Amino acid sequence: MSEPVTLDVVIVGAGFSGLYMLHRMRGLGFTARVYEAGGGVGGTWYWNRYPGARVDIESHEYSYSFSPELEDEWVWSERYAAQPELLSYLNHVADRFDLRRDIQFETRVTSAHFDEAAGRWSVRTDQGETISARFCVMAIGCLSVTKEVDLPGAETYQGQSYHTGQWPHAGVDFSGQRVGVIGTGSSAIQSIPQIARQAAQLTVFQRTANYSVPAHNGPADPQVVARWKANRAALRAQARVAPVGFLSWDQSEALAVDTPPEERERVYEERWRRGGFAMGGAFADTTIDMAANAPAAKFVADKIRAIVKDPVTAEKLIPKSYPFATKRLCVDIDYHVTYNRENVDLVDLREEPIETITPTGVRTAARDYAFDSIVYAIGFDAMTGPLTRIDIRGRGGLALKDKWAEGPKTYLGLMVAGFPNLFIVTGSGSPSVLSNMVVSIEQHVDWISDCLAWLHGRQQSVIEATAEAEDAWVAHVNEAAAGTLYVQANSWYLGANIPGKPRVFMPYVAGVGVYREKCDEVAARGYEGFAVSAAA
């Protein structure tokens, strides 16, 4: 067996998190290397190449802020950049900061074991290498493990099948085909209008209708770009403490329950016209009070009724089983209007459940559907899935997946008691998927970098969350979620999309600004809640 590679920091994943982590580590003089399963940089934007894939936060906000030069030179073409442009951006970042020489592609990390005597992580890859590193940073994303197709008979299907999260790099031409799409989450809602334009016939299988608001995409507005450029530092500073880490959400402090109905309607209408997530920030009580949520839900339902011509289809498309915005809100381009096309049908799986996938298509309780292609837009084993797939073992050989058997436990979403020197970027217990991921990623990478510099400056080399701090944080995260309507929806935030996954609300709901303050306080108090020592 070859000699282990010895590093200060091993970084797993070359998406937004891993690239910036490498850049910061180099800046601090640490030896660091990134291991990436894909053939290129980009993470989410490397894998999710399905038709219509694009960011749903405005491009200028969904981008790195750490380099003013990078911000000056990069020009986004659309309000919401499409996947190819996002991938170009991340490739540009990799080149501009000369990151590639420390990234190893097509190399999947399979295990990471903590060697207590040495105070180091021993990391193995599917290429047979071993890396010995003082610190291990899991920059592997929250939505990087696709949900397996769990429908009976899927292996018997003779046509082509695709998962939106693992789309072929060469693209897919659906021209002239009969296509079935299973799922109606964000990935489906983005891809359905595109596939409908190409395919001869499209049938959408919907289990749960989703709330979706219009993006109103278009070329980047020169006025918005100019305003952003002129005030960038101040606007970025505001976004870093905004509840969800971006300004176009525009969180209002007004309560819907205290607002007269006509005024409420006016606010919803104005925000619907603005497009994107602005609807989410319309009132401060939308996700905490059913009385405030119901009018928002009704507003969206009425919009669907106005857009979709067939009233039966419209009713099916209206979410009824959970409060507005308590599953990830979708942002679409022409989603609902697509159901007015002659070549698009909607099958409600609550009325006719799928019995099996057959060699020729899908059999529901009502009938057989024949397809040339099936698109599985069925989502991900979110947040914990990417970590529990790797054989991660901490002190005493404890496996992370065993420690998390009843749900993830972290301190600040960043570290886990019993797993010293292992950092998670945007892990469970941090705002993560409830926020602008790029803002949360930069915050975590900066916090981890400052922490490593602090340890180094004190000749310390091992840091570990204490069990007490972790317990208190987990209780706080649960308490924050329990006070909201989020826990009423069977969402992937709760692991409800994966059979057998513990039902625990994983992200921290109190907001990006509140969370950042807590993390900064912990650091300012000498990393309170962490035990620090020098390795043997």
Q: Which two tokens stand for residue 222?
A: 């020169």
- The binder of ligand NAP chosen from 112, 182, 455, 463 (CB under 6 A): 182
Binds ligand NAP by CB under 6 A, chosen from 15, 18, 180, 183: 183
Min. distance of Cβ 308 from ligand NAP in angstroms? 18
- Write the binding mask 18 to 57 for ligand NAP: x where contact by CB under 6 A, - elsewhere: ------------------------------------xxx-
Left, alpha or beta for 15 (phi > 0: left; psi -120 to 50: alpha)? beta
- Of 56 and 285, nearer to ligand NAP (C-beta) is 56
Cα–Cα distance measured from residue 307 to residue 420, given in angstroms and rounded to the nearest whole number: 54
Judged by CB under 6 A, the stretch of 111-119, 186-194, 335-343, 355-363 that binds ligand NAP is 186-194
How do the residues of the chain divide into helix, strand and coil, expressed in percent and rounded to 5?
40, 20, 45
Would you count residue 287 as binding ligand NAP (CB under 6 A)?
no
Nearest to 384 by CA among 298, 501, 482: 501
User: Is 328 a residue that touches ligand NAP (CB under 6 A)?
Assistant: yes
Residue 408's nearest CA partner among 334, 340, 474, 481 is: 474
Q: Is 154 left (phi over 0), alpha (psi -120 to 50) or beta?
A: alpha
Nearer to ligand NAP, 201 or 436 (CB): 436
CB of 433 to ligand NAP, least distance (A): 6
Q: Does 323 participate in binding ligand NAP (rule CB under 6 A)?
A: no
Beta strands 373-376; 178-182: pairing state: parallel
CB 419 within 8 A of CB 396: no
Tell whether residue 438 is a contact of ligand NAP (CB under 6 A): no
Residue 293 within binding range of ligand NAP, rule CB under 6 A: no
């067939």: which residue's tokens?
Answer: 310
> In the range 362-391, which residues lie near ligand NAP by CB under 6 A?
377-380
Task: Decide: helix, strand or coil at residue 269.
Answer: helix
CB of 149 to ligand NAP, least distance (A): 8
Residue 217 vs 497, nearer CB to ligand NAP: 497
Angstrom distance (rounded) from CA 332 to CA 285: 24
Q: Which stretch binds ligand NAP (CB under 6 A): 27-35, 93-101, 143-151, 268-276?
A: 143-151
Residue 342 corresponds to which tokens in the numbers above? 């002659």
Q: Which residue's CB is nearer to ligand NAP, number 354 or number 390?
A: 354
Of the two residues 83 and 461, which places its CB atom closer to ligand NAP in the complex? 83
CB within 8 A of 153, min separation 6: which ones? 356, 357, 358, 363
Beta strand pairing call for 160-163 and 373-376: parallel
- Give, in order, the Cα–Cα distances in Å from 236 to each of 74, 78, 413: 16, 19, 23
Cα(348)–Cα(440) distance, integer angstroms: 36
Using rule CB under 6 A, residue 498 touches ligand NAP: no
Closest distance to ligand NAP from the beta carbon of 194 (Å)? 13
CB-nearest residue to ligand NAP: 185
Cross-strand pairs, 534:
none
Residue 492 engages ligand NAP in binding (rule: CB under 6 A) = yes
* 190 is a site residue for ligand NAP (CB under 6 A): yes
Interface ranges with ligand NAP (CB under 6 A): 54-56, 143, 150-151, 164, 182-188, 190, 207-208, 328, 349, 354, 377-380, 433, 492, 497
